[in-house]
Amino acid sequence: NAGVTQTPKFQVLKTGQSMTLQCAQDMNHEYMSWYRQDPGMGLRLIHYSVGAGITDQGEVPNGYNVSRSTTEDFPLRLLSAAPSQTSVYFCASKGSGGAIDTQYFGPGTRLTVL
């Protein structure tokens, strides 16, 4: 199993550009989520999904869109990049059921918006 994969690892955008951060998992997990990590702020939840076709907003959803057409993939779209979106983005997944609520994180995408 590859676990949770993210592409790209690094990205530089200009203000106003759009792009999609890719996330995929091969563990057949129902629950997937996107976080951003900024210094001193910890990890903040952007959007999450409890299964294919179902998404919901987290703490900081503005400026981001998500969709979940398959169980495996959960892309994050930046509609019009802003410098405030410079951050490290982590995708995570977890299975449903069971006693342990473990989330598995991808390696992250380091995004800089100029």
Partner 1 sequence: GQQVMQIPQYQHVQEGEDFTTYCNSSTTLSNIQWYKQRPGGHPVFLIQLVKSGEVKKQKRLTFQFGEAKKNSSLHITATQTTDVGTYFCAGRRATNKLIFGTGTLLAVQP
Q: What is the 3-state secondary structure (H, E, C) of the chain?
A: CCCEEEECCEEEECCCCCEEEEEEECCCCCEEEEEEEECCCEEEEEEEEEECCEEEECCCCCCEEECCCCCCECCEEECCCCHHHCEEEEEEEECCCCCCCCCEECCCEEEEEC
Residues 56-75 that bind partner 1 (CB under 8 A): 58-59
- Residue 43 as a binder of partner 1 (CB under 8 A): the answer is yes
**Which C-beta is closer to partner 1: that of 58 or that of 75?**
58
CB of residue 14 vs partner 1: minimum separation in angstroms?
A: 26
Q: Which of 2, 10, 42, 97 binds partner 1 (CB under 8 A)?
A: 42
